[in-house]
Amino acid sequence: MRDLETTGPEHQEGPATGTGSTRPPLFRSLSAKLLALAVAFVLFGVAFIFMPSIAGFRVTWLKNRLAMAEVASLAVEAAPGQKLSDNLRKELLRAAGVRVVAIKRGGARQLVLHEDMPLMAERRYDLRNLHWAQAILDAFDTLTHGGRRIITVVDRPPNVEGEFIELALDERPLFRALVNHSLLILKYSLALSLLVALLLFAAIHFTLIRPIRRLSSAMVRFGEDPEDTARVIRPSGRCDELGIAERELARMQQQTVSLLKQKNRLAALGLAVSKIAHELRNMLGAAQMISDRLAMVDDPTVKKFAPKLITSLDRAIDFCVGTLKYGRAQEPPPRRQTVLLRPLVHEVLESLPASGVEVRLFNDVPDGLAADADADQLHRILFNLTRNAHEALVGMRSHETVREIRVSAWRDGAVVTIAVADNGPGLPPKARAHLFEAFTGSARRGGTGLGLSIAQELARAHGGDVVLAPHDGPGTIFHVIIPDRAIELDTERRKRAGHSASP
């Protein structure tokens, strides 16, 4: 298995600097937690083995004693007249490890072997039909009472005839044997649990923790310099969940790198645009002064065109100033007022560049139709659309068609629509596929692909839009939709009340 790889000089494990550390404190690390959990679970399992084990050991020990006592009782029964010397009786009791042996046969209980002194047993255990849970409780009972008691034990005789065999004995030897057995089991259990925990830990460490740690350190390193392509992780090719995480992380990091690069390019472009706007404003300022002087020349043709030239230059200077003020990405908010559309469209059509090809321009906007818009921005929208149409018509090969651009407009309630139509070649597929997308929508040589996207952005700032209108036949139609501003009823009422109150 190959682990995650990164290129670059920082591909070393170890404490990271900067945004964060790749290694948490040892006791808080995933490895420490896993180790503790593994030990706890194994000990939990061992506890389940320990309880039945000591219970079984105790019952077996007692049954051995019963068997030995039974053998001793047989020796008594074999003696003539069942009489034994005191010494032999004591010897038998000592050898069997008991103090009293009684057997019940044929309904009569017979004291087979006993000491001289009468005994008081503190606890009686019956091994006949013993339930396993009771056996466990009895084992703990023996362990907790420390072997200071005399107990009696009853069971069926292991080998001879009889209803039961009962014996009294000191609990101490049983207690000692049980403690030794428990300690042995605990010792082995602890060793086993440590061994299992270590094996488990090693397995998890190599299959999970190490790859996770490398994944997290790769993230931290990337976070320190997300523009550095060399810090993007290289997936190891594993097929498991970690492999998926690696691949997804690599994809996200690639995306981040390219987004940041794009952002930087745009920032540089923004700076360039600002510089251009700045210099252009200065140059236009000079041109404005010259055109002001031109307006003073006493020539009817100059007098006719000079004001238009001045308006155009004013508009260009305003635009440059606006660009400088609001930066590259943002257009200034529209300064809306009532704009008469027919004269505005007339001005737009008049400012279309001259070309050797005849293009007929029609201003079909009804007199008196007004829109609630920023005049300069609406001029730019319409100029972009008519210029596109003009460029498309001029570039047309056909000599039979009479080239036409027609601008019409109408009001529908609070919405004004201006249609810019031409009978040119229609939108090329590339332009159609990236319509209104900045930089990508251009399908003509020398085009920047900004005109339509700027027009749409400006219309949207008015709460409207620029859309491609579906139609049959040749050419292209764009609709500019400009809704009126929403009126705040309270303000309007107050305004009207003020008017009616004034004399």
361 binds, among ligand ATP, Mg ion, none (CB under 5 to 8 A by kind): none
Q: What is the nearest approach in angstroms of Mg ion to the Cβ of residue 256?
A: 33
Nearest to ligand ATP of 449, 483 (CB atom): 449
Nearest to ligand ATP of 6, 384 (CB atom): 384
List, as one string, the DSSP characters of 208-275.
IIHHHHHHHHHHHHHHH-TT-GGGS-B-----SHHHHHHHHHHHHHHHHHHHHHHHHHHHHHHHHHHH
Q: What is the nearest approach in angstroms of Mg ion to the Cβ of residue 447?
A: 6
Nearest to Mg ion of 451, 483 (CB atom): 451
159 binds, among Mg ion, ligand ATP, none (CB under 5 to 8 A by kind): none
424 binds, among ligand ATP, Mg ion, none (CB under 5 to 8 A by kind): ligand ATP
Say how far residue 283 (Cα) sits from the centre of its chain: 52
246 binds, among Mg ion, ligand ATP, none (CB under 5 to 8 A by kind): none
How many angstroms separate the first and last alpha carbons of the chain? 92
Nearest to ligand ATP of 358, 490 (CB atom): 358
Q: Region of 224 please: left (phi>0), alpha (psi -120 to 50) or beta.
A: alpha
Q: What is the nearest approach in angstroms of ligand ATP to the Cβ of residue 292?
A: 29
Q: How far apart are CA 273 and CA 131, in angstroms?
A: 92
- Taking contact as CB under 5 A, which single stretch among the options 25-33, 86-94, 358-366, 388-396 is the one that binds Mg ion? 388-396
Nearest to ligand ATP of 51, 450 (CB atom): 450
Q: What is the nearest approach in angstroms of Mg ion to the Cβ of residue 463?
A: 23
Q: What is the nearest approach in angstroms of Mg ion to the Cβ of residue 442?
A: 8
Pairing of strands 415-422, 476-483: antiparallel
Nearest to Mg ion of 142, 388 (CB atom): 388
Q: What is the nearest approach in angstroms of ligand ATP to the Cβ of residue 430?
A: 7
Backbone angles phi, psi at 371, to 5 degrees: -120, 155
363 binds, among Mg ion, ligand ATP, none (CB under 5 to 8 A by kind): none
Q: Which two tokens stand for residue 237?
A: 């090719």
Binding mask 441-460 for Mg ion (x = CB under 5 A): ----------x---------
Q: Output the furthest CA–CA distance in the chain (Å, rounded).
A: 166
Please report, for residues 214, 225, 232, the alpha-carbon distance to residue 10 in angstroms, rounded to integers and kept in the order given.
12, 11, 12
Size of the site for Mg ion (CB under 5 A): 2
Q: What is the nearest approach in angstroms of Mg ion to the Cβ of residue 272?
A: 20
Q: Region of 387 please: left (phi>0), alpha (psi -120 to 50) or beta.
A: alpha
Residue 388 engages Mg ion in binding (rule: CB under 5 A): yes
Q: Which two tokens stand for residue 217?
A: 């350190």
Pairing of strands 404-412, 360-363: parallel
Binding residues for ligand ATP (CB under 6 A): 384, 388-389, 392, 422, 424-428, 431, 441-444, 447-453, 476
Is residue 99 within 8 A of residue 93, CB to CB? The reply is: yes
Q: Name the residues that contact Mg ion, by CB under 5 A.
A: 388, 451
